[in-house]
Structure 1
Amino acid sequence: MLLPAPTSAIPTNIITGFLGTGKTSLIKQLLSLKPKDERWAILVNEFGEVGIDGAFFKGRPEDNIYIREVPGGCMCCTSGLPMQIALNELISYAKPHRLLIEPTGVGHPKEVLAALQQPHYQDVFDILATLTLVDARAIAQTRYRENLIYQEQLSIADRIIATKTDLYEGDEVDHLKNYLAEQGLANTPFSMLDSPLADLSILAGTSDSVLDEDQALSDKPEHKHAHEHKHDHDKSGSLVDDLQHALQQTGRVTIENAAQGFASQGWIFNGNKIFDFTQAMNLLSVIEVDRLKAALITEKGIFGFDKVDDVLSCIKLDESPDSRLEIIDADASRISTAVNELESTLFT
């Protein structure tokens, strides 16, 4: 069925923030407030290669929610081709009344914004406020304070939002505000997400950033991929075919990614593999990595696992054609240890 296209430019928000700041959780809240007669499109970019975030959104075309994932941090590749292809396909199919974009937590949001501001998109997108989520507790850690991507995510914000406020124990917000002042961001609107959203006003306001694409792309550190099959960004369809073929032949695929001082390792398992729910909960609770996400088919149903700050959460998922798990960390030795633990227990 052909959908009627919106008659004006699509209101578009970028929702950025470092790993584990709650971007997906905020988008889920926003989706719960979506007017029933509106079609919303969500473009999600993950640092990992296997693509898990889409499974955490309860949205289907019949609910007027359309989700497209760009795995592997590729939304910020030099050519921007993976993002443009995914974005164009999503807009063409969904014809949305609103677009939300979630870049990877270790990616460059300036490049995403610059891509949206290209002349051929001028009449397509109405670029509204860029929201940057931040966990104020992270300011105490040098690896965040001095991280250039972390600083870029804050500098591009039209609104900075402190999340996970229920976990603050002291003067974290004061330290965050002092840090923002040091970065020249004292006048950037700041708020705290300390209660469920009541409406969509958080998305209001226009973007103040106007970027030149060449400037946004300059001096960008190179990232690299390593996995069992050739990864050619200009032949993403072939990559998907290769992965599906390997999945059918071997029952599982392992994919790695490394960039910006972080590394990831992810697995995709054939939907016929049934995981032990209790074993998964016990093991994933004790694995030590910066970030862990999984969508697993178990004997008790399909569940999503999300671990950040050493806290594992688990939710029931509606559906998933296969099982996927991804770990991310800045320390290669912790990745190696986690891989050994998974391979010797959960994956056997």
Structure 2
Amino acid sequence: MTKGKVETGNISDVTRVYLITGFLGSGKTTLLNRIIEKFPKDQKLTLLVNEFGEIGVDGTLVEGDDIDMMEISKGSIFCVCVKTDFIKGLYELNTTVKPDVLLIESTGVANPSDLKKDLKLPIFNDRFDFREQFCLVDAAHFADAYEVYASLEKQIASSSVFIINKTDTASLEKIEETKKIIARFHPAPLFFETTFADIPLERFLELDGGKETLAASLKDSSSGKPKLSDTELDQFLDDLLDSPDLEITPPDMLMSVGYRWNGNDITEIEKIANDLPASVVRAKGFVEDESGMHIFNYVMGDWTIEITDIPRNRIQHKNILVFIGPPDSMAGIETASESGSWESLGVFQPYSEES
């Protein structure tokens, strides 16, 4: 778990929690940035960004200065592989940071069904008030991914607001097919059809910093209650992980692999993108040539390479691409890399016994 600038400052009694979920490449970080842009300056916002792979990219894409942020990689925060990091992060927010709002961006293969139960654990002293779960849906690729990955069904079943994103890349028939699939799980789903995750956020978030919210922050429910020692917190987590109700088996078996690019011709990026096996669901990263810094985005066969204005000092993993796919795609990714200046950084499987 890595941390950005996490401050204490003004203390709130209740932390309103919003979850942003959706499959890999659906636009979750874009929605996150829209919320950051409109968030009231007089309220404290904390982000918890969860990435599937060992090398994180999404945290770099979060816009805004002085953002309070925790990053958890190497698996889903809702599965046993990083459950400990997630609960410890929430406990720090409960006892030290105490923000007004917590935005959680989950990994694209997460099963978020247990989030509400996690937020009500007794060590949090009723701090977290779960408000809304946004499910981002890639209009062009959702129907195909739904047939293969069980996590999409879990995300749909536990969500309440569905953002059909990237509608400019999909036909009307594809969009209607996507809505029909979602409607199987909800009698009256709330849909927004849009591009760049542009929805009326004021319908769901208290963006005016209203008096009711400020008044609620005057009392601190956890004040006077002793903070658990590290040993006590570890014991609580050990007992939690031993619970028979804990979900241990992940919904989808996916792996990630990182490759360092040692070339200087951007056409090598284009070639590997075209040569990837069809089973690769996601790839992303920053690459630099003499023309500048580029961001590479790949979602189920569709990809872009675009110049980015993100400052170089914010990019921790330059010239490294992360590829995500099922185990049988790893050999095909390696083959695709053989035609360019690529160096494997190793395969990461968050649900294996070795991880």
Identify whether the pair has TM-score above 0.5, normalized to the shorter chain: yes
Q: Secondary structure at the match of 2:342?
A: coil
The one-letter code sitting in structure 2 at the alignment partner of 1:346 is S
1:217 to 216, 235, 246: 246
SS in 2 for 1:76: coil
Corresponding position of 1:191: 192
Q: 1:275 touches 1:296 (CA, 8 Å); kept in 2?
A: no
Paired amino acid for 2:44: R
User: What is aligned with 1:294?
Assistant: 285
Tell me what 1:264 maps to: 256
Higher relative contact order (CA 8 A, sep 6+): 2
The 8 Å contact of residues 48 and 73 in structure 1, kept in 2 or not, is answered as yes
- What amino acid does structure 1 have at the position aligned with 2:89? A
The answer for the alignment partner of 1:116 in structure 2 is: 119
Alignment of 1:2-41 (within 5 A): 3-41=8-46
Q: Where in structure 2 are the equivalents of 1:253-332 lying within 5 Å?
A: 260-267=252-259, 276=264, 278-279=266-267, 281-288=269-276, 289-309=280-300, 310-314=302-306, 315-318=308-311, 319-323=314-318, 324-330=320-326, 332=328
> What is the RMSD computed on CA atoms of the aligned residues?
3.2
Task: Give unmatched runs, 5+ long, in structure 1.
Answer: 206-211, 223-258
Give the whole-Å Cα distance in 2 for the aligned partners of 1:48 and 1:81: 17
Partner Cα separation in structure 1 for residue 42 and residue 61 of structure 2: 22
Q: Residues 321, 48 of structure 1: CA spacing in aligned structure 2 closer, same or farther, 3 A cutoff?
A: closer
| Equivalent residues in 2 for 1:17-96, closer than 5 Å | 17-61=22-66, 65-78=67-80, 80-89=83-92, 95-96=98-99
* SS in structure 1 of the partner of residue 323 of structure 2: strand
Structure 1 residue 169: Cα displacement = 1.3
Alpha carbons 2:140, 2:166 under 8 Å: kept? no
Normalising to structure 1: TM-score of the pair? 0.73
Q: Take 1:287 and 1:197, find their aligned partners in 2: how far apart are those partners?
A: 33
Residue 46 of structure 1 and its aligned partner are, at CA, apart by 1.1
Equivalent residue number for residue 179 of structure 1: 181
Q: 2: distance between equivalents of 1:300 and 1:97?
A: 42
Q: Distance in 2 between matches of 1:74 and 1:135?
A: 20
Q: TM-score, normalised by structure 2?
A: 0.71
Flag the 1:114–1:343 CA change in 2: closer, same or farther, 3 A: farther
* Sequence identity percentage: 26
| Pairs within 5 Å for 1:75-154 | 75-78=77-80, 80-89=83-92, 95-138=98-141, 140-141=143-144, 143-145=145-147, 147-154=149-156
Equivalents in 2 of 1:130, 1:196: separation in Å?
Answer: 14
Shift of the 98–112 alpha-carbon distance from structure 1 to 2, 3 Å rule, reads: same
| Structure 2 counterpart SS, 1:175 | helix
Contact 2:272 2:336 in 1 (8 A): no
Q: Say if 1:287 and 1:8 are closer, same or farther in 2 by CA, change over 3 A.
A: farther
Gaps of 5+ in 2: 1-5, 207-239, 344-355
